[in-house]
Chain A
């Protein structure tokens, strides 16, 4: 992060009503009590009395009135925040889409501008607003969320706080009228606020935050090692194991994935599956079919499929292995090299050289195995 830039803290939750805004205000109050200059840049209390009560005592900046299609609307006043220059600004609903006519299309862009001015920001978001989870959430809940934010907005946050509540407790809050006004409760209960939806969303939110914590820990570990002048780039500092399977778009690769998955299960490790494609080369029909099959297989196995475009497979694999802090790399048996290719260094040897401290395993090709049962079967 560049020096002088503000710090971003995001309060993430599985759905409306879990208490993100309330928690943000609580922490804002604590900061104000400790002597910091805190203002509320934008607050959406949704008429909840306890949320409004929590905002008492904090300076709230006025909203800006915008007229869109003859309808008056209220938006956050970005120039007012920048002119006021508080130490900390509380800005609710990070995924909000602004009305046309203000500085930015989305609120997260406003937040970036505030951070660039050196102002710290606390903000809130629901997990279904994250771009990468949008499809998954739509499948889980049957509700398509239109307001999304790029994942890197949350990934770049200095702190992500999960505001958690059990689905049962959230439903109880909803039924008690603490989330929506009475007329909206039956619709909410019949649509989005079902126990199975909430359970799935909660799991998604928990996973998202856990993955964020893990990646931050790994990045921090790398940075620490670089400072100490160790072989940081080469030796992942993760405590746990992480496997990376290199695959091509051929049926043979499924065996590599299966082997890698078995190993990952034994080690209790995460599995990444990497497929490197040449840039600019259109995929053949059979390659597309293999890719789809690979996607489905990875989805069943719970593995992460990564598709990279690169001219050099070894280079891409080394880069991804470092980024993901892989401790094992698995690859299929390479095809016999012909002609001038024999003069080049093999993929396995380049991986071993480029990924010091990482195990490289070659999964045997069964077709090459001499089997006494062969003749009998034929």
Chain B
């Protein structure tokens, strides 16, 4: 009898383990599906807008999406499009690191990118070609000298992107994260 009881207990334990395992796997799968949504956030060295980043993080968190910050690097015509760009990388990496830290504090997963192009639109076209995302958040510049994308770039993106484009107009006074290229990099994390 004790052997039968032991067998039954073993079977019961096994069944419970299998059920628990399935629940865990399904939860994980659901989590993966939820996280599969991707929100692209392209920016340039001179145009990383604080309100646009905050908005992109809020959207990503509410939609359980992954934020894809994309640094757009401009390649001069005299250089190959595939060439190494250490000076651009020097600019891009601290900015991506800053965004990553903000995103982690906000509980948003991040998958950073650097896209090269001859112009902002070319880099955006490369981004559209290379990356998979459901929404694209960009900062529209309040004026020609402000941070963000020009109205022409925004219009171009809206007509060329298959994903939803959210163009945000940042407040002119407090719209920059990290240093501009011509400013010392005092605010950057280690």
Contact = CB atoms under 8 A, between A and B. Distances in A.
Interface of A: 136, 139-140, 196, 200, 251, 254-255, 258, 261-262, 265, 289, 292-293, 296-297, 299-302, 366-367, 371, 373-374, 377-378
Main secondary structure of the interface of B (DSSP, over half): mixed
Interface string B81-96: 1101110111011001
B122 interface: no
B100 A139 contact: no
B113 A196 contact: no
Given A289-B132, A300-B114, 19 more contacts: A196-B78, A200-B80, A251-B109, A254-B111, A255-B100, A261-B93, A262-B93, A296-B115, A296-B130, A297-B113, A297-B114, A300-B85, A301-B84, A302-B85, A367-B104, A371-B104, A371-B105, A377-B102, A377-B105
A206 to B, nearest CB: 15
A251 B111 contact: yes
Contacts of A258: 93, 96-97
Contacts of A262: 93
A302 B102 contact: no
B107 interface: yes
Interface of B: 66, 73, 78, 80-82, 84-86, 88-90, 92-93, 96-97, 100-102, 104-107, 109-116, 130-132
Contact of B104 (A140, A296, A366): A366
Given A255-B100, A300-B89, A366-B101, A136 B114 contact: no
Given A140-B80, A255-B100, A301 B89 contact: yes
B85 to A, nearest CB: 5
A374 to B, nearest CB: 5
Nearest to A257: B93
Contacts of A289: 131-132
A214 B143 CA distance: 52
A350 B112 CA distance: 30
Contact of B73 (A251, A300, A374, A377): A300
28 contacts: A136-B82, A139-B80, A139-B81, A196-B78, A251-B66, A251-B111, A251-B112, A258-B96, A261-B93, A262-B93, A265-B90, A289-B131, A289-B132, A293-B111, A293-B113, A293-B130, A296-B116, A297-B113, A299-B82, A299-B84, A300-B73, A300-B92, A302-B86, A367-B104, A371-B105, A374-B105, A377-B102, A377-B105
Contacts of A378: 105-107
B105 A373 contact: yes
Nearest to B109: A251
B122 to A, nearest CB: 15
Contacts of B115: 296
Would you list the 4 A-B pairs with minimal beta carbon distance, nearest first?
A302-B84, A251-B111, A377-B105, A300-B114
